[in-house]
Amino acid sequence: MKNRQIAALAAALAASALASPALAQLDAAKADALMKKAACSACHAVDKKGVGPAYKDVAKKYKGDAAAPAKLAEKVRKGGMGVWGQIPMPPNTPDKISDDEVKQLVAWVLTQ
């Protein structure tokens, strides 16, 4: 019972963090603009696998994971490989996309 309460609290805190004005939900057009700005769309698409996974597949994999927004924002910022295959995702530096934009984009991806 206590674990359920902790999980519910963690989910509520994650949801409230995403609801802050700086992290307002993106619409598809704003998300698309951010993906182009950071060159995400070179490897990712909403509904089909490219060099990287489809955003819908990412959302499905991390559904219900309260830690996913922070984990994925770090992955976008630092880059990485091995979760979806051996092709590396390059890091996205702050001069390309701000931390707030990364968080907004990750929140949008997780709604797909």
Put simply, whether the predicted model's pTM sits higher than 0.85 gets the answer no
Contact 97, 108 (CB under 8 A): no
**CA pair distance 14, 36, nearest whole angstrom:** 26
Residue 45, token pair as written in the block: 């698409």
Q: Work out the mean pLDDT of the chain and round it to a whole number.
A: 83
Residue 80, phi-psi category: left (phi > 0), alpha (psi -120 to 50), beta (remainder): left
For 36-81, the pLDDT digits (tens) are 999 999 999 999 999 999 999 999 999 999 999 999 999 999 999 9
List, in order of start, the domains of the chain with CATH numbers. 2-109 (1.10.760.10)
